[in-house]
Amino acid sequence: MSQSESVGKSTLTHKLLRAHLVSGELEPGAEIGIRIDHTLTQDATGTMVYLEFAQLGLDRVRTELSVSYVDHNLLQTDFRNADDHRFLQSSAARYGVWFSRPGNGVCHQVHLERFGAPGKTMLGSDSHTPTGGGLGMLAIGAGGLEVALAMAGEPFHLKAPQVFGVKLTGELLPWVSAKDVILEMLRRHSVKGGVGKVIEYYGPGVAALSVPDRAVIANMGAELGATSTVWPSDERTREFLRRQGREDAWTALAADLGAQYDQHDEIDLAQLEPLIAMPSMPDKVVTVRQAAGTKVHQVLIGSCANSGLAEMLLAAEVLNGKHGHPEVSLEINPGSRQVELNLAELGALAKLVAAGARLHQCGCLGCIGMGQAPASGTVSLRTFPRNFAGRSGTVDDSVYLCSPQTALAAALAGEIRDPRELGEMPRVKLPKRELLPSAQLIEPPAEGTSVQVVKGPNIVDLPQFAQLPELIDAAVMLKLGDDVTTDQIIPAGNLVLPLRSNLPAISEYTFSKVDHTFAERMKKAGSGLIVGGLNYGQGSSREHAALTVRYLGVAAVIARSFARIHWQNLVNFGVLPLTFTNPEDHGRIESGDRIEISDLRDQLKAGSSISARNASQRLSLTLEHSLSTRQVQMLLDGGLLNYLRKQKAQ
């Protein structure tokens, strides 16, 4: 029994898990199945999800609520993106899914405002789905196929997490914000610190943070590698829901007093100061004072963190009557049309425009390299969750992550400045009830079987993959170090994003930013292996990072450790994820080495240890897997879709 299950006092995480448990025991590391209430998809992962859902042969989703958002790719540089939008809209109507139209806002922000509810579970095909944790949900990011299955009413399987309790005391000082809390967590625990854990905040400091504040912290729990982040549901939660006209969705939720956590930490909010993540990893955190004086050319406020009404109103008040620095491009991406509408209603939009801010439509935009790329050799300050190298669209970018407060100070000064130098912080007054725009949110028809799903030529059905072979005898096609991101495996940006629904075409870009010869070499070799270090596959939930390597013939990835979502995606598409029994063996494998794994199917069935041979170096190698029996079968069958087909046929 884990500490968090001890003596009848339960953590909130375990309460939420237990209320949805369908199979397994809450023993950290053991496989459990949970019922999913809400699902969320976004366009960049969603096209695959609806192609996959269609293969399951159902007429309608079997969740309480499923929503399809279009927020990642709004550029429409040619027919492909617009075709994706039509495919998504028609699929939503066909299968009983709400549709949030292009430009209506970033999925996580809109879900908070319009649908999120304490106590519900949510699975989303986006790694920042845990944003819903700010409302007392247990919200988890996953690969698209997992989400398609949840839409079909199937339980979501995961390794029971450890619960990492963080006690909050005190209150944030002026100009210090929720972003600084999560940056402090990243400073302390790194991008690997949350792997296998749900982070649970509790304590007297919780009440001092609003739901949007909590959502920012839950959102970037993804950067810690956490499975999810949960917050209690209290009077602040009720106040937020009331402002959204949804007070009836409220219930109180909290951990039992004295609940024990598997890991523990404490933050005195009053001790925090403005922090900033340096290029190009979210855990390279220093104080803003340490980075002060660095010249800045671009400031972006928005994304799925820090794009809510309170942040935008604060920006309007800080900038009121002033002009942004002439050498800084100050750009504002409101999180949703609701935020935008309320900004207009409250007169804040005029203040932003007058200050020289460039207002963009509501969506992910520059956060995933869809426009807003910074100039070469310049510094960009962003309130976004991620700053992986090159993600902005500029190869040699220098992207810093910070709070809206710090971003505004830089927008005015033209350099990184401690926002506390701005004097008294303006007070922001939120309306009692927000205006709720409805034109961009479409409810599905009660019956969708007569709806025609519209598929443009760029929407290509998934191929059927072969089952796992008995022997792997292949070369290491790429050897990599620690913290490889899915942005490195399959980049986003304006060239690649329009290809998310076309596997053969997108596969050409696999590892293109790491080694542009990779796809070509794989095609020639027909099969291969990848070797990685710690935390392989961190970041995005995009299953294309597994699908494309599978499509090109990668049979296995051998790494020192994996990030959760990517590990699961590899398994789902029949790519074997193995770890080194002896971590030092990572240093002994060279790119180009030929690795043999014989009797693979029998070895997998027999246990968790896999014997292999480095034929080039004449060394034997012991590898491991941490697959459940169900997952072993999935791999043997060549992936989850094959496994399901086989089960259905039986």
Query: Footprint of ligand SF4 on this chain (CB under 6 A)?
Result: 72, 106, 126, 128, 303-304, 364, 367-368, 384-386
Report the nearest approach of ligand SF4 to the CB of residue 565 (Å): 13
Q: Strands (DSSP E) along 142-191, which ranges?
A: 156-159, 162-169
- Coil/strand/helix, residue 255: coil
- 8 Å CB contact between 333 and 311: no
CA distances 646 to 31, 71, 149, 637, 641, Å, are 22, 35, 15, 8, 9
Residue closer to ligand SF4 by CB (options 124, 203) is: 124
Per rule CB under 6 A, count of chain residues that contact ligand MIC: 14
Residue closer to ligand SF4 by CB (options 81, 260) is: 81
Residue 386, interface with ligand MIC (CB under 6 A)?
yes
Residue closer to ligand MIC by CB (options 472, 492) is: 492
Considering only CA atoms, which of 355, 362, 322 is closest in space to residue 340?
362
Residue closer to ligand MIC by CB (options 98, 384) is: 384
Site string for ligand MIC, 6-25 (x = CB under 6 A): --------------------
Strands 619-624 and 576-580: antiparallel
Pair of tokens at residue 14: 């375990």
Q: What is the C-alpha to C-alpha distance for residues 357 and 314, in angstroms, rounded to an integer?
A: 14
CA distances 85 to 76, 99, 365, 522, 532, Å, are 10, 10, 16, 32, 35
- 8 Å CB contact between 482 and 607: no
Residue closer to ligand MIC by CB (options 127, 233) is: 127
Query: Which of ligand SF4, ligand MIC, none binds 111 (CB below 5-8 Å, type-dependent)?
Result: none
Q: 351 has which bridge partners?
A: none
DSSP string, 581-611: SSTTHHHH--TT-EEEE-SHHHHHHH-SEEE
Return the range that interacts with ligand MIC (CB under 6 A); candidates 126-134, 340-348, 397-405, 421-429. 126-134
DSSP string, 614-650: ETTTTEEEEEE----HHHHHHHHHTSHHHHHHHHHH-
Alpha helices (runs of H) in 454-589, residue ranges in sequence order: 486-489, 503-507, 518-525, 544-552, 564-572, 585-588
Positions in 507-566 near ligand MIC (CB under 6 A): 539-542
Query: Which of ligand SF4, ligand MIC, none binds 569 (CB below 5-8 Å, type-dependent)?
Result: none
Q: What is the C-alpha to C-alpha distance for residues 69 and 541, in angstroms, rounded to an integer?
A: 15
Q: What is the C-alpha to C-alpha distance for residues 360 and 334, in angstroms, rounded to an integer?
A: 7
Residue closer to ligand MIC by CB (options 283, 593) is: 283
Query: Which of ligand MIC, ligand SF4, none binds 45 (CB below 5-8 Å, type-dependent)?
Result: ligand MIC
- Coil/strand/helix, residue 310: helix
Site string for ligand MIC, 310-329 (x = CB under 6 A): --------------------
Residue closer to ligand MIC by CB (options 232, 493) is: 493
Strands 576-580 and 121-124: unpaired
Residue closer to ligand MIC by CB (options 420, 542) is: 542
Residue closer to ligand MIC by CB (options 131, 237) is: 131
Residue 420, interface with ligand MIC (CB under 6 A)?
no
Residue closer to ligand MIC by CB (options 180, 487) is: 487
Query: Which of ligand SF4, ligand MIC, none binds 16 (CB below 5-8 Å, type-dependent)?
Result: none
**Residue from 72, 111, 157, 566 that binds ligand MIC (CB under 6 A)?**
72
- 8 Å CB contact between 88 and 458: no
Query: Which of ligand SF4, ligand MIC, none binds 542 (CB below 5-8 Å, type-dependent)?
Result: ligand MIC
**Residue from 127, 162, 227, 579 that binds ligand MIC (CB under 6 A)?**
127
Return the range that interacts with ligand MIC (CB under 6 A); candidates 125-133, 183-191, 288-296, 371-379. 125-133
Sheet with 162-169, side-by-side order of all strands: 228-230, 197-202, 162-169, 263-268
Site string for ligand MIC, 131-170 (x = CB under 6 A): ----------x-----------------------------
Report the nearest approach of ligand MIC to the CB of residue 68 (Å): 13
Sheet with 156-159, side-by-side order of all strands: 21-23, 31-34, 156-159
Residue 228, interface with ligand MIC (CB under 6 A)?
no
Pair of tokens at residue 478: 């790429």
Binding residues vs ligand MIC (CB under 6 A): 44-45, 72, 126-128, 141, 368, 386, 492, 539-542
